[in-house]
Structure 1
Amino acid sequence: MTDTAFTPHDIAGFLQENPGFFDEHADVFATLQVPHPHGSRAISLGERQIMTLRERNRELEWRLNELVRNATANETIGTHLAKWCSRLLSECDPQRVPGEIALGLAEQFDLNHAALRLWDLSELPATGYGEPVSQDVRTFTDSLKAPYCGADNGFEAAGWLDAKPKSLALVPLRLETDGPAVGLLVLGSDDAERFTPEMGTTFLESIGQLASAALHRLNPATPKV
């Protein structure tokens, strides 16, 4: 025996360097007790390991369930997106395409509010979806490099909806990837959590690309990109 004081770090290092210690001293392992993580009583080291494994198992189960929920939600969204796209492709009248974009989305994705304004398309009437918009709206839409999601309903475009939404998404439409905007799609919901700044915008970007592709029918002189 010596007067040398061992720190917890020293003991942990010793056990790591001597993995056979508990094989040689099984009685120590069997009788060793540690504090209960959720109580004041002591439990055996074996019980503590079992509890740790159970906690890890619950965490893995939660993560797996979350992955399954996300996969199911993405599959549902993909199905609705395919149905909406089919409606766009099957529409024979170019003048009805804007309605299929806005109203079709509202129907397929159970949206409370949807609006669409378009500009600078050669075959677009100056009424309905082609009603004039302010230069501020055009400038703002040009500045959007990705869809906006959030609860700010003070945007001028939010006034196109039939009522103020609790959350909304603004999707710019362009005939060319890096070209000027030719429209703005406004999707509103009475659910404050439907469109949030933290959410991913992959599906909204796909919606914007598909809608933009369909709008080439209202501007036949522009080559498709």
Structure 2
Amino acid sequence: MTAAPLPPSSAPSAPLDAQAVADYLRENPEFFDQHAAVFAEMRVPHPYEGRAISLGERQILTLRERMHALERKLGSLTHHANDNQRIVLGMREWSVALLAESDAQALPALVSDGLAKAFDLPQVALRLWQCPAHREPAEAEPVSDDIRLFAASLKKPYCGPDNGVAATAWLGFKPASLALIPVRTPRGQTFGLMVLGSDDPGRFSPDMGTDFLEHIGALAGAALSRLLQGG
């Protein structure tokens, strides 16, 4: 295949701009086969240094940059995979502990302490209501009607910054981000609220998925519902 001839220099034509050159080379890939010397002698600016390099060197730099970008992406994926694996293992231990606990009175502390360990969080706060058989002072502290209504209104866990929710005061510090998980019986009765606090602003971001947190809420609710039945 022969490259399309360039218009004669004497023929009138539109000004040759960069886009026209790019289009011509794209449509005629055999150009550099027929003009190998041009390819070998051509120099382009170095992307980071004030000097000219060959097209071959420029292509190598581009490929190297892409390789580094892929390495960074792979490293990030590996980090998240390892972190998720750690959390999954922690959640499995937590779930087994909930199932094995015979003393219903010990469940609230097991829920909050186990979640803090599994998620590597500074603190997890838990409050329960309508549990007259529960005797632990912290989880059984009075909860306002506003918080009860708020917990009942949550269709899914809240993730994001502290927007002044009163339940945040249950934590012993000011969180940079938090998750609020309603505690419900398997039949849907809301009788508690969990607050997971983090000092990392991106730990519980508003755009994160909540399926995992919903699973946590369901497990905690099923275990803690024993307190509604008198333990």
> TM-score range, shorter-chain basis?
0.7 to 0.9
C-alpha contact 2:44 2:54 (8 A) present in aligned 1: yes
Equivalent residue, structure 2, for 1:185: 194
Structure 1 unmatched runs, 5+:
none
Confirm whether residue 143 of structure 1 aligns to residue 148 of structure 2. Answer: no
> What is the one-letter code of the residue matched to 1:54?
R
Q: Secondary structure at the match of 1:141?
A: helix
Q: Which residue of 1 aligns with 2:38?
A: 28
Q: Equivalent pairs: percent with the same residue? A: 51
- C-alpha separation in 2, matches of 1:166 and 1:56: 35
- Counterpart in the other structure of 2:184: 174
Aligned residue type for 1:22: F
1:217 is aligned to 2:231: no
Q: What is the match of residue 208 of structure 1?
A: 217
Mind listing any 5+ residue stretches in structure 2 that lack a counterpart? Answer: 1-8
2:164 counterpart SS class: coil
How many aligned positions are there?
219
- Partner of residue 104, structure 1: 114
Once residues 127 and 67 of structure 1 are traced to their aligned partners in structure 2, the CA distance between those partners, rounded to angstroms, is 42
Q: 1:75-118 CA distances to partner (integer Å, 9 max, x unpaired)?
A: 01111111111110110122322221112223444432222112
* Distance of 1:38 and 1:3 partners within structure 2: 39
Change over 3 Å in CA distance of 1:49–1:31 after alignment to 2: same
**Per-residue deviation, residues 128-176 of structure 1 (Å, max 9, x unmatched):** 3233311100111122223223442732212223444444322112224
Q: 1:158 aligns to what?
A: 168
Task: State the Cα RMSD in Å.
Answer: 2.6
Q: How does the TM-score come out when normalised to structure 2?
A: 0.82
CA distance 1:24–1:191, change in 2 (3 Å): closer
Structure showing greater Rg: 2
Instruction: Give SS of 2:16's match.
Output: coil
Distance 1:124 1:185, change over 3 A: farther
Superposition deviation, residue 194 in structure 1: 4.2
Q: Distance in 2 between matches of 1:68 and 1:111?
A: 21
- Give the structure-1-normalised TM-score: 0.84
Between stretches 204-213 and 77-86, larger displacement belongs to 204-213
CA contact (8 A) 1:146 1:171 kept: yes
